[in-house]
Structure 1
């Protein structure tokens, strides 16, 4: 009898040990690559993202952050596809043919210039892009999966400005000026205004401005601190070119890495996705306000565009849309471009109202979770 008890106890201990090992084996560490400094808006959000997933998963999923090390901004899309990272900050504008429907929403950005300002346009745009992609655009999700990625949300910059080493106010000052741009529509805009657009990744802006390769860069005001541009920028034209950057998928996950997770782990990652999308979006919105003081402290002049330049910019925004849609049809095969544009514009209008009462990051986190990510089924999404 005693022997049977000992054997039963040994079996039970072995079973417990086996369960513990099974639990340990199921724990996952995911590598997150993003081409921004650890102290940037993105880097700070990434730390909170890792903490949120670890807490939500009960330690079953750990995210290890690689700021500006594992993959550059330009390398992240292909590197994530090939499994060099599990999670990545993907800039769709660097390979627009891979994500044409997602990029179409980006290239509708100048519509924010044509409405009476309400103050939270960038926050509304982020919500509209994410909800439209998750719920109204299955072909968008298919495009991401075609690159071995699962879409996990996005974010926007605050309103884009011209960060320059020379003053840019008038059409005469713009003529021939070399301006770094990241989006096709802004390329066309600056060409229309008489400037010379140059295209390269945002993280190369510091060197390009400091060496005189370009005179200006199309970016938002928070990049004065995020990319240390306050050391080289002398002037900021605050209302030119307008629009915003929404072409990022801030924490896409490698398809194979996603499918290795169990349902509870995927649910935790979706929770984290809602947090980081809100954090980066709100971070840029809030940092645009605080960076006005940075500009003042660094003797960077904030200037407004001349009325003639602004009128021409708005005229371009009104007239460019039909050509943009036609280009997406002929160049990228987006035969539903008109439908996407109309539906997305309605989604943006809805989100302008949704974000109007939002006054904090935590409120935006809650809105992103309840309005969108909570409704994504971890058992079927991306599977």
Structure 2
């Protein structure tokens, strides 16, 4: 006897293969998606994450049709120390790290040229210069990575608790947190005692009197609550280069990048390099202005250094560059040529 097939059953039987195809297609799309693990050394509210990297990830997601997503691990949540971030990226523990190469002293000697005293004037022009300098001179020393951005922190100022920094003599006896090897050398040349520690420890160290203050970019002040424990803030005369700067990089694990489909690589490439460097530079300058306004509003004292004191400080710091040139010459590198190009790029 022939069975009668009900219309509803027939419709269901017809739809099942279509549903299976839809599920399969969705699974393929999901498998084609990429979740990027990004880590850095600052709190999650820092401008680097909130104002640059999160919008950058949003753009990657939009332009990839949702196939690129990001997971953030701020404040070293993947383990290690800031000095080890470059290895977290190199070894694939993280897909992307935002870090300062200078934290890993001696490993990236060429890019350190941009950190020499009195080169960088602000975030945007300094970041453009740092990216151009990287492309001209430092590609080889970052060959183990996919370099997404090279920028600067806009320049480090003096932030002190007990007394303002004015003339060179005012630094004598002061213990200040130094962010990089170059800042340590600068402070030593100026008669102060540099103390190295991660950014997260600076505020507590000042409040306990372990150090008298810090040399740091304006951008790092509010994420570390530095304004709560310092009263005096000294920066160069208007328009003059800062005492030093910190070069910062966004580095991606090279194998992870190379494993991506061509269209996803294109999305990352289109939104990295000069475009991302511009974003970092613009945000840094905006945050610098906002932080100064906040510090002044909260009763902090901000002073542009007297030009004569500034020039005296430059003269006292001259041996730092001379020693750096000698050190890098031992590696067979022409330091004088690097410095000349760095200053020319930063002055544009």
Task: Pick from 57, 65, 70 the counterpart of residue 58 of structure 1.
Answer: 65
Equivalence map 1:69-84=2 (5 Å)? 69-71=77-79, 73-84=82-93
Q: CA deviation at 1:106?
A: 2.2
CA contact (8 A) 2:160 2:230 kept: yes
CA contact (8 A) 1:46 1:276 kept: no
Q: Which residue does the alignment assign to 1:362?
A: none
What is the distance in 2 between the residues matched to 1:291 and 1:89?
21
What is the distance in 2 between the residues matched to 1:347 and 1:303?
27
CA contact (8 A) 1:122 1:156 kept: yes
Task: Pick from 136, 146, 149 the counterpart of residue 150 of structure 1.
Answer: 146
TM-score (norm 1): 0.76
What is the distance in 1 between the residues matched to 2:119 and 2:69?
40
Residue deviations 1:76-129, cap 9 Å, x none? 22222222211111221111322121222323x4234xxxxxxx6431111111
Equivalence map 1:51-130=2 (5 Å)? 51-68=58-75, 69-71=77-79, 73-107=82-116, 109-112=117-120, 121-130=122-131
What is the distance in 2 between the residues matched to 1:243 and 1:281?
18
CA contact (8 A) 1:141 1:150 kept: no
CA contact (8 A) 1:88 1:253 kept: yes
Q: Which residue does the alignment assign to 1:46?
A: 53
CA contact (8 A) 2:328 2:334 kept: no
Q: Which residue does the alignment assign to 1:299?
A: 299
What is the distance in 1 between the residues matched to 2:124 and 2:111?
17
Q: CA deviation at 1:54?
A: 0.7
Q: Which residue does the alignment assign to 1:237?
A: 234
Q: Which residue does the alignment assign to 1:339?
A: 337
Q: Which residue does the alignment assign to 1:4?
A: none
The 1:334–1:165 alpha-carbon spacing in structure 2 relative to 1, beyond 3 Å, is farther
The 1:320–1:172 alpha-carbon spacing in structure 2 relative to 1, beyond 3 Å, is closer
Equivalence map 1:311-330=2 (5 Å)? 311-318=311-318, 320-330=320-330
Q: CA deviation at 1:263?
A: 1.9
Q: CA deviation at 1:276?
A: 4.2
CA contact (8 A) 1:33 1:70 kept: yes
The 1:158–1:247 alpha-carbon spacing in structure 2 relative to 1, beyond 3 Å, is closer
The 1:292–1:344 alpha-carbon spacing in structure 2 relative to 1, beyond 3 Å, is closer
Say whether 1:164 aligns with 2:171. Answer: no
Q: CA deviation at 1:306?
A: 5.3
Give the alignment's Cα RMSD to 1 decimal.
Answer: 2.8
Structure (1/2) with the larger helix percentage: 1
Say whether 1:253 aligns with 2:252. Answer: yes
CA contact (8 A) 2:42 2:74 kept: yes
What is the distance in 2 between the residues matched to 1:189 and 1:106?
11
Gaps spanning 5+ residues in structure 1: where?
Answer: 1-8, 113-119, 353-383
CA contact (8 A) 2:154 2:285 kept: yes
Equivalence map 1:347-362=2 (5 Å)? 347-349=345-347, 352=348
TM-score (norm 2): 0.83
What is the distance in 2 between the residues matched to 1:132 and 1:173?
34
Residue deviations 1:55-74, cap 9 Å, x none? 12222211112222234533
SS of the residue corresponding to residue 148 of structure 2 reads coil
The 1:309–1:188 alpha-carbon spacing in structure 2 relative to 1, beyond 3 Å, is farther
SS of the residue corresponding to residue 313 of structure 1 reads helix
The 1:175–1:201 alpha-carbon spacing in structure 2 relative to 1, beyond 3 Å, is same
What is the distance in 1 between the residues matched to 2:221 and 2:136?
35
Pair member with larger Rg = 2
